[in-house]
Amino acid sequence: MKTIFNFVIMLLVILGLGITFSKYHQSSDLKKQADLLMEQGKTQEAIIMYEQARGVFPWRQDVVNDLEGAQLVLQSDLDYGQIYQIGAETQILPPLSILPSINKLQPNEIFVPILMYHHIRVNPRPGSPVWASLNLTPDQLNSQLQYLTSHGYQTISLDELYLALTKNTPLPSLPIVLTFDDGYRTFYDSVFPLLKKYKVKAVEFVITQVEGAPAYLTWDQIMEIDASGLVQWGAHTRHHPNLPDLSTAAITNEIKGSKADLELHLKKPITWFAYPYGSYNNFIVQTVQDSGFVGAVSTIYGAAQSKDKLYLAPRIMVDGRFSLAEFITRIQK
């Protein structure tokens, strides 16, 4: 009897060691992926991988140390508003000479420019072409809004565009959508006052779990802006990772989680999504649909909208180096 008992104990020990070894090996694979992402400068994606590695095998102090180090790097970046640099939702802008062919509409399309903005501030790095493209001064935005409102353009929400595309709901003669990516605090400081000044609508795509960083909107600011009725909120993931780099589980968490975060705070449905860095694949698009979003905006250049492109709606990035004349030309049919 004692021999049988000892044998059972030995089997259980062997089984336990096997499970432990398997989990350690799985954790090591995740750690290697995270280390590679850190080497590539993809700190947020690395943090997600380190967290998964810790979840699989919580007793690894090396993973805990790597995770804490990555979080310090990320916090430093967030403090300076550098969640993106080269990998932002940038866009290759076609030359003005070929715009007529790009803007030619098919029978099922309507012409509605969706403008894409990021930072509204004086560019802190004037020597960088990327930063020059992603930063507009408040005066530039003021001039653009002044032009739009004085020339018959009417700002609409993405939900209004959705109804026009799916239900044939009438739109104004010159509809336009203003979208702002990432939820920067400059939206509260520089954009919100101009929205109130000109009584125009906008859409802000929020990264939902960076509230502690000084560069981003707080939930209190989001709630104050929401009370104005001028802003529609969209989801932009929880941490702004490059989604194709993640596991399917992490992708689902980033997309569905950001929707849940916003709906928890705002007590209203969040219906539109923006892909971080403009990156997507079939699984990501399908996950956006399955999460209950009615549409998603892309970084594909264009202003021809249709219900066939609801989850890859084209936009026009407003480059900080645009003259007012070029801005006007790019939003015309």
Going along the chain from its start, the domains and CATH numbers come out as 2-79 (1.25.40.10), 98-330 (3.20.20.370)
* Comparison of pLDDT for 9 and 285, the residue scoring more: 285
Two tokens at 293? 């979003």
What percentage of residues in the chain have a pLDDT greater than 70? Answer: 87
Q: What is the pLDDT of residue 235?
A: 98
Two tokens at 157? 């929400």
Q: Is the pLDDT of residue 199 over 50?
A: yes
Poorest-confidence range of 12-26, 99-113, 210-224?
A: 12-26
Interacting residues of 106 by C-beta distance below 8 A, sequence separation 6+: 304, 306
List the one residue out of 165, 112, 132, 164 whose CA is nearest residue 315: 112
* Comparison of pLDDT for 144 and 5, the residue scoring more: 144
Inter-CA distances, 80 with 42, 124, 181, 191, 214, Å = 16, 10, 17, 19, 8
List the one residue out of 106, 161, 127, 187 whose CA is nearest residue 310: 161
Stretch 264-280: mean pLDDT, rounded? Answer: 96
- CA 224, 228, 229, 235 torsion: positive or negative? negative
Stretch 266-274: mean pLDDT, rounded? Answer: 98
Burial pattern 225-244, b for ≥16 Cβ within 10 A else e, equals: bbeeebbbbbbbbbbbbbbe
* Comparison of pLDDT for 85 and 233, the residue scoring more: 233
> Considering the chain, what is the average pLDDT of its residues?
88
d(CA 190, CA 202): 13
CB 87 within 8 A of CB 45: no
Q: What is the pLDDT of residue 75?
A: 62
Q: Is the pLDDT of residue 295 over 70?
A: yes
Q: What is the pLDDT of residue 86?
A: 41
- CA 111, 121, 280, 289 torsion: positive or negative? negative
pTM: 0.81
CB 187 within 8 A of CB 204: yes
Q: What is the pLDDT of residue 245?
A: 85
* Comparison of pLDDT for 209 and 151, the residue scoring more: 151
Poorest-confidence range of 57-61, 136-140, 241-245?
A: 57-61
d(CA 169, CA 17): 64
Q: Is the pLDDT of residue 94 over 60?
A: yes
* Comparison of pLDDT for 74 and 31, the residue scoring more: 31
Q: What is the dihedral of CA 175, 181, 187, 188, to 10 degrees?
A: 110
* Comparison of pLDDT for 83 and 212, the residue scoring more: 212
Q: What is the pLDDT of residue 46?
A: 84
Q: What is the pLDDT of residue 108?
A: 92
Stretch 101-110: mean pLDDT, rounded? Answer: 92
